[in-house]
Amino acid sequence: MVEDRDEPTIIEPTDAVIRLTATCICGSDLWPYRGAYDVDRQVMGHEYVGVVEAIGSEVATVKVGDFVVGSFFASDNTCEICRAGYQSHCVHRVLMGLIGTQSDRARIPLADGTLVATPAQPDADLIPSLLAASDVLGTGWFAAVAAEAGPGKTVAVVGDGAVGLLAVLAAKQLGAQRIIAFSRHADRQKLAREFGATDIIEERGDDGVAKLKDLTNGLGAHSVVEAVGTQEAMMQAIRATRPGGHVGFVGVSHDVSIPGDLLFGSGVHLHGGPAPVRRFLPELIELIWDRTIEPGKVFDLTLPIERAAEGYRAMDERRAIKVLLTPTDNND
Ligand SMILES: [Zn+2]
């Protein structure tokens, strides 16, 4: 449901207000949509790019007119946790989903720490990729980093949604030698290969793990990304990882419980959680600006924001990988 709400304004001197150029629907938005939580008229959306319209008196690093990218947690980028690269756990963090960026305008708290300006106004064809940097690319990238993807490594990715596909892209950029994507959908397999996957495994669960072991001399992958958040996917990720290897998990966990004996016996590293997208934004914006990467390819449906409900349906029914929404002002 789309409704008119009060226009956002500057509340704190560290706020900015942006006019959204594009926003989108996240896989995690589907959990409340499907009824996993009790929601009633909850504002939605936490991915955004746009133009700064107003800034508070203490904002110094972005100015009115700048085109900016931010992530799903606002962060000060100055506290000890932020400086260690974990801005999604900032001591002052604000969850952008509570503000709701599936809208025409949005208030961005902690603007200096949260927003990164692009070098200039972007060409229209760059906007989907910059929007992807706001969450799905940043999250896939963190997952690949958490899994220690790099030169000489075999990386496996569990999950063929936008985040999993972009973890493939990240693994490729980080220099992985071999990238194995688990996917049973032809369109997603094709995109995974475009992003750098060298092998595709269609089986999942035990069969998927067995197939992966076949491809890795019985050892398992060095690095495994878990980008689903279910029990089956997490177990598959841990069991697909060789002893001493790393699992990067970014699928929002839903009733996942890891048996202690399995974890003890596995000898793997586990690292993940809500991705500190802000850590990677400057680098990701540069790679997009230089047209080295095109993560915006994950958007396979674009709708005006008034038709957001159709977008939720399309993603829920897996007819779309990811839906881009264009705010009202851009449809005049
Ligand atoms: Zn912080």
CATH number for the domain harbouring residue 34? 3.90.180.10
Indicate if 249 and 309 belong to the same structural domain. Answer: no
The predicted pLDDT at position 188 comes to 95
Indicate if 156 and 244 belong to the same structural domain. Answer: yes
Cα(169) to centroid of ligand 1, in Å? 28
Cα(277) to centroid of ligand 1, in Å? 13
Which tops the pLDDT comparison, 139 or 321? Answer: 139
Cα 300 from chain centroid?
16
pLDDT reading at 238 higher than 80: yes
The predicted pLDDT at position 23 comes to 84
Q: How many CB atoms lie within 10 A of CB 41?
A: 7
Q: Is residue 128 part of a domain?
A: no
The predicted pLDDT at position 47 comes to 81
Cα(88) to centroid of ligand 1, in Å? 8
Indicate if 149 and 253 belong to the same structural domain. Answer: yes
Cα(85) to centroid of ligand 1, in Å? 9
**CA 172 – CA 196 distance, rounded (Å):** 6
Cα(101) to centroid of ligand 1, in Å? 21
pLDDT tens digits, residue range 112-155?
Answer: 999 999 999 999 999 999 999 999 999 999 999 999 999 999 99
Cα 256 from chain centroid?
20
The predicted pLDDT at position 332 comes to 42
> pTM of whole model > 0.85?
yes
Q: Is residue 263 part of a domain?
A: yes
**CA 288 – CA 226 distance, rounded (Å):** 24
Q: How many CB atoms lie within 10 A of CB 265?
A: 11
Tokens of 292: 């080295």
Mean confidence (pLDDT) of the chain: 91
Note whether 79 and 135 are within 8 A (CB): no
**CA 190 – CA 16 distance, rounded (Å):** 40
Cα(133) to centroid of ligand 1, in Å? 20
Indicate if 117 and 149 belong to the same structural domain. Answer: no
Indicate if 53 and 87 belong to the same structural domain. Answer: yes
Final residue in a domain of this structure, among 272, 289, 308: 272
The predicted pLDDT at position 320 comes to 86
Residue ranges with CB less than 5 Å from ion ligand 1: 75-76, 79, 82, 90
The domain containing residue 181 runs over which residues?
140-272
What is the mean pLDDT of the segment spanning 50-65? 97
The predicted pLDDT at position 41 comes to 43
Cα(108) to centroid of ligand 1, in Å? 15
Cα(62) to centroid of ligand 1, in Å? 18
**CA 26 – CA 322 distance, rounded (Å):** 7
Indicate if 258 and 146 belong to the same structural domain. Answer: yes
Cα(89) to centroid of ligand 1, in Å? 7
Tokens of 154: 């075999």
Cα(295) to centroid of ligand 1, in Å? 27
Tokens 């959680």, residue? 273
Q: Is residue 99 part of a domain?
A: yes
Q: With cut-offs at 50, 70 and 90, classify the pLDDT of residue 326.
A: confident
Cα(74) to centroid of ligand 1, in Å? 9
Which tops the pLDDT comparison, 307 or 158? Answer: 158
Q: Is residue 293 part of a domain?
A: no
pLDDT reading at 225 higher than 60: yes
Note whether 325 and 24 are within 8 A (CB): yes
Cα(279) to centroid of ligand 1, in Å? 11
Of the chain, the percentage scoring pLDDT greater than 70 comes to 89
Cα(72) to centroid of ligand 1, in Å? 14
Indicate if 116 and 149 belong to the same structural domain. Answer: no
Indicate if 45 and 72 belong to the same structural domain. Answer: yes
Q: Is residue 284 part of a domain?
A: no
Cα(86) to centroid of ligand 1, in Å? 8
pLDDT reading at 74 higher than 70: yes
pLDDT tens digits, residue range 259-276?
Answer: 999 999 999 999 999 999
Q: With cut-offs at 50, 70 and 90, classify the pLDDT of residue 286.
A: very high
Q: Is residue 103 part of a domain?
A: yes
Beta-strand relationship, 67-69 and 116-117 = antiparallel
Compute the half-sphere exposure of residue 38: CA atoms within 13 Å on the CB side of its CA: 0
Cα(145) to centroid of ligand 1, in Å? 20
When divided into structural domains, the chain yields a total of 2
**CA 225 – CA 77 distance, rounded (Å):** 26
Cα angle for residues 120, 124, 129 (degrees, 5° grid): 85
Region of poorest pLDDT, from 62-66, 189-193, 281-285, 322-326: 322-326
The predicted pLDDT at position 10 comes to 94
Q: Is residue 168 part of a domain?
A: yes
pLDDT reading at 210 higher than 70: yes
Alpha helix (H) ranges present in the chain? 30-33, 80-83, 111-114, 127-134, 136-146, 162-173, 186-195, 205-215, 231-239, 260-266, 277-289, 308-316
pLDDT reading at 3 higher than 80: no
Cα(187) to centroid of ligand 1, in Å? 39
Indicate if 266 and 320 belong to the same structural domain. Answer: no
Cα(282) to centroid of ligand 1, in Å? 17
Tokens of 222: 């060095």
Cα(5) to centroid of ligand 1, in Å? 30
pLDDT reading at 293 higher than 80: yes
pLDDT reading at 318 higher than 60: yes
Cα(317) to centroid of ligand 1, in Å? 37
CATH number for the domain harbouring residue 181? 3.40.50.720
Alpha carbon of 101 to those of 23, 226, 239, 305: distances in Å?
A: 7, 26, 37, 11
Cα(228) to centroid of ligand 1, in Å? 27
Of the chain, the percentage scoring pLDDT greater than 90 comes to 74
Indicate if 159 and 43 belong to the same structural domain. Answer: no
**CA 90 – CA 80 distance, rounded (Å):** 8
Indicate if 242 and 154 belong to the same structural domain. Answer: yes
The predicted pLDDT at position 101 comes to 63
Indicate if 265 and 174 belong to the same structural domain. Answer: yes
Cα(96) to centroid of ligand 1, in Å? 15
Note whether 189 and 209 are within 8 A (CB): no
Q: Is residue 295 part of a domain?
A: no
DSSP annotation string for 17-70: EEEEEEEEE-GGGHHHHTTSS--SS------EEEEEEEE-TT--S--TT-EEE-
The predicted pLDDT at position 317 comes to 82
Q: With cut-offs at 50, 70 and 90, classify the pLDDT of residue 40.
A: very low
Note whether 14 and 112 are within 8 A (CB): yes
**CA 20 – CA 265 distance, rounded (Å):** 48
